[in-house]
Amino acid sequence: MLKALSRLARNFSAARKLLSPVLAFFVLPFPAFAQPVAANAEYVISVGGTIVANAQIKLRDTGSAYSLELEANVTGLGQFVARGSATARVSGTSARSAYAGKEFNLQTSSSEGIVTLDVRLSGGNVTAFYMAPPLQPRIDQVPLERRHLVGVNDMLSAFILKGGQLDRSLCERTLNIFTGVERFDLQLRFASAETATSARTGYQGPVILCQISYQPISGHYLNSEITTYLQASERILIWYAPLGDSGTFIPYRVLIGTSLGDLSMVLTGLS
């Protein structure tokens, strides 16, 4: 489930930018083999209490390899969020310490057209990426550098955590995310241990709350209001819930304060 979240205010392209820290955890010292996991998670995304999107995520983990599938439908919110859809597919390697993406593909569809992103990685290093249609050059865009594409993960895999226990150690990490366009870091820090009790959600039980700090690295626009807002925000939060005793943890809730009201993603179904 940070950075994550690897644009809301500018039609559908704005929604992708703001949700990437919702939808973008490395280096914990555990043995090499992971426990097999299969999970289907359903989420509702709202802005200011109004539902704007629904998403389903499927995780399949054999213990050495994994796949993630995302299907999202955006119903829209007036002039602020355009109607559209998104699909993402990820495959990579699984260990007890982390999921490491190898192939990431994202396709979005809206009234502005279809956009495709593809990222290939090896050992956490980007080997190839493309976007179709390509972004038009802008003088205020911070250029990507080769050194920025080393030691990163895709913006979906990064949010599914591996760990020993549901405790503060889950938050003691930095997510280094590359979306195919932008490179940013999400620094997590422990906020509190809580209990999810709402019967309207897909999970009831202990959760860990992490606070997130967003740090743009490259690929972003210096004059972007969203980038500036996220970098200054102290209200980017993510709650994690366990998938049984598998050592895998998924986002239970994500919350970002915005001028339109809280942007919230909540787990509503889990099987």
Q: Which domain holds residue 214?
A: 11-270
Two tokens, residue 66: 């994994």
Question: Does residue 3 lie in a domain region?
Answer: no
The total domain count for the chain is 1
Question: Does residue 6 lie in a domain region?
Answer: no
Assess whether the previous peptide bond of 133 is cis (omega < 30° from 0).
Answer: yes
- Quote the pLDDT of residue 77: 60
Q: Tens digit of pLDDT for each residue in 206-251?
A: 999 999 999 999 999 999 998 999 999 989 999 999 999 999 999 9
Question: Does residue 216 lie in a domain region?
Answer: yes
From CA 75, how far away is CA 53, in angstroms rounded? Answer: 6
Q: Tens digit of pLDDT for each residue in 38-59?
A: 999 999 999 888 899 999 999 9
- CB-CB contact of 211 with 188 (8 Å): yes
Global model pTM greater than 0.95: no
Question: Does residue 5 lie in a domain region?
Answer: no
Question: Does residue 208 lie in a domain region?
Answer: yes
Specify the DSSP class assigned to residue 233. Answer: -
From CA 160, how far away is CA 176, in angstroms rounded? Answer: 13
Q: Tens digit of pLDDT for each residue in 125-166?
A: 999 999 999 988 899 999 999 999 999 999 999 999 998 889
Question: Does residue 48 lie in a domain region?
Answer: yes
Question: Does residue 2 lie in a domain region?
Answer: no
CA 78 to each of CA 11, 39, 84, 87: distance values in angstroms, whole numbers, following the listed order? 10, 33, 13, 22
Question: Does residue 182 lie in a domain region?
Answer: yes
